[in-house]
Amino acid sequence: MDLNFTAEEDAFRAEVRQFLKDNLSDEIVAKMRGMEELTKEDLENWHATLQSRNWLAAGWPVQHGGPGWNATQRHIFDEECSAANAPRIVPFGLGMLGPVLLKFGTEEQKAEILPRILDGSDWWCQGYSEPGAGSDLASLKTKAERDGDDYIINGQKTWTTLGQFANKIFCLVRTSSEGKPQEGISFVLVDLDTPGIEMRPIRLLEGGYEVNEVFFTDVRVPVANRVGEENEGWTIAKYLLTHERTNIAGVGASTQALAELKMLAAKVSRKGKPLSIDPIFMAKVAETEIDLEAMRITNLRMLSADATGREAGTVSSMLKIKGTVIRQSINDLARRALGPAACPFPSEEVIGNLAVAPPEAARNAADYFNNRKLSIFGGSNEIQRNIITKNLFGA
Amino acid sequence: MDFTHTEDRRMISDSLRRYLADQYGIEHRNQAAYEAPFHDTGKWAELAELGILGALVTEDQGGFGGHGFDIAVVFEELGRGLCPEPVLGNLLALRLYAALGQTERVDAIIAGTARAAVAVHETDAFVDLDEIAITANGSGDSVTLTGRKSVVYGGNSADHILVVAKNASGLGLYEIAPGDAEVMGYAMIDGGGAAEVILENTQATTLSEDARGIIEAALDAGRLALCAEAVGIMDVLRDTVKDYLLQRQQFGRPIALFQALQHRLVDFSIEIEQARSIVILAASKLDAEDRALHIARAKNLIGRAGKLVAEEAIQMHGGIGMTWEYGASHYAKRLIMLDAQLGDTEDQLRTSMELAAA
Ligand SMILES: Cc1cc2nc3c(=O)[nH]c(=O)nc-3n(C[C@H](O)[C@H](O)[C@H](O)COP(=O)(O)OP(=O)(O)OC[C@H]3O[C@@H](n4cnc5c(N)ncnc54)[C@H](O)[C@@H]3O)c2cc1C
């Protein structure tokens, strides 16, 4: 047992840190600290910066343009990026479609699509959920019917994150109604410019706009855009659920959020003293910090064990549940730290001119509400518990 | 013992509930709550006509209620209807004006012809009255005030603003005309309006030079109001979650059939009953000597129960609970944010510990 990083790992950390220092602008760091929505351009620019160093596609193998990192390196990279307030890497192309193509795509699909993800030509979004198919994803109804060399797609997807920035969507569609629902699903790639597609915004409870509904009316898509075999899309969906585990616990982001919380507590006062010496409030901060510290080790421990199959499912579900609960409690404390200063709706006027709260904390309440999503999306925490239960009892 | 409300209180509660259900639907509410002046001035007048402001002070003071249960029944309905009108700010002002015998102001507020707000908080004094820094300059008729009062509930649409400021004898209460200060209004994240009030040698009328006692009593009335509002909100959320679980189908059945969700609905329903009880107790103590302890305990429990109910309500709805369009999300937001008003869960815990030890 040795919890220290090796000398090479420390050197790698230093290299990442230096790169971030040289390449992250103050403007982006301020936006990240203040939890401002980044523009499409901000995100694209950051992707390009990472790509210039070959660090964008952290999980991809070298021959396809990835850095070839192991799990520990990826963990270090994530920690450093979060600590430096770097924008997150938009996951849909890099973390989801990329790995799917690497595992299930044809050589033509890999050759055509992967480079366009790396150079930013395409922005992908994820079309899985439907109004009637959330937790029960396999009940999805969006239909793709064969017509010669095309599929004709009809139906509706929803909750499509950052669809407003995307030019492509990968979808799970129903290609057969025979057998079990899971057996009639296919994975298809759709160009959002195709006639018959309409996207409508959904406003979230805190006022932000990051998700959409996508309507498909007689949308014609070449059969060649299918990934994997017809009716085997469910295998792909399941693969994705367990494949991307490295960042699922969000340890880096939580660590940074906790550091911000402590700085805030030192800045605001209660009873004439800094909140950071108030035992009642700080006891809660300390508990959360203890949980996070354990999570950091749990995460490293589970990543270093090469889990497969059922075990892998349990691990990613555990990391997701505990990681999101910790993050949400940091958000809760960050809102509470402000007292009534958390109340104003974070308009530009309120943040810029009135400065009721410190500017980096003005969106703390909004962020708290927005991050309630963490325990809902990507398979809700209830569904994760069901997965663990199934694995536990071998059902 | 008798846990039923009097006929009069049931009447005001029923009529307010009906009025808000008919006249203040969620769409109208969300429009009014987030666009200046962050409430509906026409509806304010109608609420005054219904008598809900009169219910907040006693008969001697020009109203027809004024006891803990009067405040509680009104605010429980305001919570149930998710009403963004600035009743909290006007409750605080009414209690202060009434305590000082300012009949003209009391009558105008009750009639709905004037609105008032109370400026207590400062950016470094959001909870504790001892930390208030703004100091009255001068004495008698020629007092001026300088400094910033922060997050003044209803301050954006008040005709009179009561300012709490330090003076030689402790805490005084001063009145200013909003036009003599810089009043910058904004929406709150859960809807409704508040303001920053910037005072710069602002001319003020002295209402009382020694007002600490009545200020504390008024703030406790406000805390009771918030607690009762929370109970109304929690009842709605429980019903909404229950209906949604029955209606939403996943895996070929209503999600209400999943025991993982059933037990959680039950657990938070138990907390709602606990919340209802402690608010009843606190309401009964509003005029008692140990008022402050009971109010602090109630608001602490409300804070904990409210967080549980709001978070569970969002979670158990799945994605739909995260949307602006779905009403329950606004109830959840209000339930979370009201904790921050007039001292949150931890502040109340601190107060409860101090007062219980005393
Ligand atoms: C902000 C946000 C972004 C999203 N982004 C995307 C995206 O980009 N692409 C995409 O395809 N989807 C996306 N989603 C959708 C997300 O994956 C779904 O919301 C999620 O799967 C839950 O489905 P649902 O909302 O239909 O809730 P439901 O499935 O209706 O669930 C309602 C409640 O019931 C619980 N429940 C359901 N079944 C069970 C059970 N068997 N046992 C116990 N409890 C159960 C759930 O956990 C939840 O609490 C996003 C969602 C949100 C909120």
Over residues B174-182, the mean pLDDT reads 98
Over residues A266-295, the mean pLDDT reads 95
Nearest residue of chain B to residue A160 (CA atoms): B319
Number of residues in chain A? 395
CA angle A378-A379-A380, nearest 5°? 110
C-beta A235 within 6 A of ligand 1: no
Positions of CATH 1.20.140.10 in chain A: 248-393
Interface of B with A in 278-307 (CB under 8 A): 307
A22-46: b or e for each residue (b if 16 or more CB lie within 10 Å)? eebeeebeebbbbbbebeeebbebb
Number of residues in chain B? 358
Task: Please tell me the distance between residue B161's alpha carbon and the centre of ligand 1 in angstroms.
Answer: 47
Contacts of A159 in chain B (CB under 8 A): 319
Q: pLDDT at residue B168 above 80?
A: yes
Are B64 and B55 in contact, with CB atoms under 8 Å apart? Answer: yes
Strand segments (E) across chain B = 116-119, 143-153, 160-167, 170-176, 182-187, 193-208, 249-250, 253-254
At residue A240 the predicted structure's pLDDT band, cuts being 50, 70 and 90, is confident
C-beta A380 within 6 A of ligand 1: yes
**DSSP secondary structure, A276-341, as one string:** GG-HHHHHHHHHHHHHHHHHHHHHHHHHHS---HHHHHHHHHHHHHHHHHHHHHHHHHHHHTTGGG
User: Phi and psi of A166, rounded to 5°?
Assistant: -90, 155
Amino acid at B328: A
Are B122 and B252 in contact, with CB atoms under 8 Å apart? Answer: no
User: Phi and psi of A94, rounded to 5°?
Assistant: -75, -40
Q: How many angstroms from the chain centroid is the CA of residue B197?
A: 19
pLDDT for the residue A146:
97
Q: pLDDT at residue A307 above 80?
A: no
CA angle B244-B246-B250, nearest 5°? 90
Contact A271 B318 (CB under 8 A): no
pLDDT for the residue A270:
86
Contacts of A369 in chain B (CB under 8 A): 189, 333, 336
Contact A340 B349 (CB under 8 A): no
Contact B188 A345 (CB under 8 A): yes
Helix (H) or strand (E) holding B259: helix B259-284
Rounded to whole angstroms, the Cα distance separating B123 from B276 reads 32
Q: pLDDT at residue B235 above 60?
A: yes
Superfamily of domain A124-229: Butyryl-CoA Dehydrogenase, subunit A, domain 2 (2.40.110.10)
Return the bridge partners of A173, or none: A186
Contact B187 A347 (CB under 8 A): yes
pLDDT for the residue A310:
63
Considering chain A, what percentage of its residues have pLDDT values greater than 90?
Answer: 86
Task: Please tell me the distance between residue A128's alpha carbon and the centre of ligand 1 in angstroms.
Answer: 11
Q: pLDDT at residue A355 above 60?
A: yes
Cis upstream peptide for A115 (omega within 30°): no
Task: Please tell me the distance between residue B122's alpha carbon and the centre of ligand 1 in angstroms.
Answer: 41
Catalytic residue among A183, A213, A244, A311: A244
Residue with the two structure tokens 């009391």: B106
C-beta A159 within 6 A of ligand 1: yes
Three-state DSSP state, A172: strand
User: Phi and psi of B190, rounded to 5°?
Assistant: -100, 15
Q: Among A128, A376, A377, pick the best mutation site for testing chain B contact (most B Cβ within 10 A).
A: A376
Contacts of A346 in chain B (CB under 8 A): 189
Instruction: Kindly report the number of other CB atoms within 10 A of residue B187's CB atom.
Output: 23
Helix B41-50 × helix B7-23 angle, to 10°? 160
Q: pLDDT at residue A395 above 80?
A: no
Task: Please tell me the distance between residue A44's alpha carbon and the centre of ligand 1 in angstroms.
Answer: 28
Are A221 and A195 in contact, with CB atoms under 8 Å apart? Answer: no
Over residues B321-339, the mean pLDDT reads 98
A108: Cβ–Cβ under 8 A, 6 or more apart, which residues? none
The fold of the B6-114 domain, in CATH, is Butyryl-Coa Dehydrogenase, subunit A; domain 1 (1.10.540)
* Average per-residue pLDDT for chain B: 97
- Residues A126-174 have pLDDT tens digits of 999 999 999 999 999 999 999 999 999 999 999 999 999 999 999 999 9
C-beta B251 within 6 A of ligand 1: yes
**What residue ranges do the domains of chain B occupy?**
6-114, 117-210, 214-357
C-beta A95 within 6 A of ligand 1: no
How far apart are the CA of B313 and the nearest CA of chain A, in angstroms? 11
- Residues B96-113 have pLDDT tens digits of 999 999 999 999 999 999
Q: pLDDT at residue A276 above 60?
A: yes
Are B144 and B117 in contact, with CB atoms under 8 Å apart? Answer: no
* Average per-residue pLDDT for chain A: 94
The fold of the B214-357 domain, in CATH, is Butyryl-CoA Dehydrogenase, subunit A; domain 3 (1.20.140)
Nearest residue of chain B to residue A336 (CA atoms): B340
pLDDT for the residue A248:
82
Amino acid at A246: T
Contacts of A382 in chain B (CB under 8 A): 258, 260-261
Contact A203 B186 (CB under 8 A): no
CA angle B90-B93-B99, nearest 5°? 135
The fold of the A248-393 domain, in CATH, is Butyryl-CoA Dehydrogenase, subunit A; domain 3 (1.20.140)
Q: Is B27 exposed, middle or buried (0-12, 13-18, 19+ CB in 10 A)?
A: exposed
Pocket test for ligand 1, best of A100, A159, A382 (most atoms within 8 A of CB): A159
Rounded to whole angstroms, the Cα distance separating B59 from B26 reads 34
Considering chain B, what percentage of its residues have pLDDT values greater than 90?
Answer: 97
Find the CB nearest A280 among B127, B260, B346.
B346
**Cα-based distances in Å from B336 to B237, B251, B275, B302:** 12, 32, 15, 10
Task: Please tell me the distance between residue A275's alpha carbon and the centre of ligand 1 in angstroms.
Answer: 37
- Among residues B341, B320, B318, B259, the alpha carbon closest in space to that of B91 is found at B341
What CATH architecture applies to the domain B117-210?
Beta Barrel (2.40)
Q: Is A244 a catalytic residue?
A: yes
Amino acid at B134: I
Return the bridge partners of B249, or none: B254
Positions of CATH 2.40.110.10 in chain A: 124-229
Strand pairing category for A226-227 and B249-250 = unpaired
Rounded to whole angstroms, the Cα distance separating B64 from B286 reads 16
Contacts of B150 in chain A (CB under 8 A): 340-341, 356
Rounded to whole angstroms, the Cα distance separating B56 from B63 reads 7
- Residues B183-230 have pLDDT tens digits of 999 999 999 999 999 999 999 999 999 999 999 999 999 999 999 999
Q: pLDDT at residue B260 above 60?
A: yes
pLDDT for the residue A306:
63
C-beta A164 within 6 A of ligand 1: no
Are A241 and A282 in contact, with CB atoms under 8 Å apart? Answer: no
C-beta pairs of B284-289 under 8 Å, 24+ apart in sequence: B284/B68, B284/B69, B285/B68, B286/B67, B286/B68, B286/B71, B286/B220, B286/B221, B286/B224, B287/B67, B287/B68
pLDDT for the residue B78:
98
Strand segments (E) across chain A = 124-127, 143-147, 150-158, 168-174, 185-191, 197-203, 209-222, 226-227, 269-270, 273-274
Over residues B43-65, the mean pLDDT reads 97
Find the CB nearest A280 among B124, B196, B349.
B349
- Residues B291-305 have pLDDT tens digits of 999 999 999 999 999
Instruction: Kindly report the number of other CB atoms within 10 A of residue A338's CB atom.
Output: 24
Rounded to whole angstroms, the Cα distance separating B207 from B198 reads 20
pLDDT for the residue A308:
59
Q: Is A177 exposed, middle or buried (0-12, 13-18, 19+ CB in 10 A)?
A: exposed
Residue with the two structure tokens 């799945």: B318
Return the bridge partners of A109, or none: none
Rounded to whole angstroms, the Cα distance separating A201 from A212 reads 4
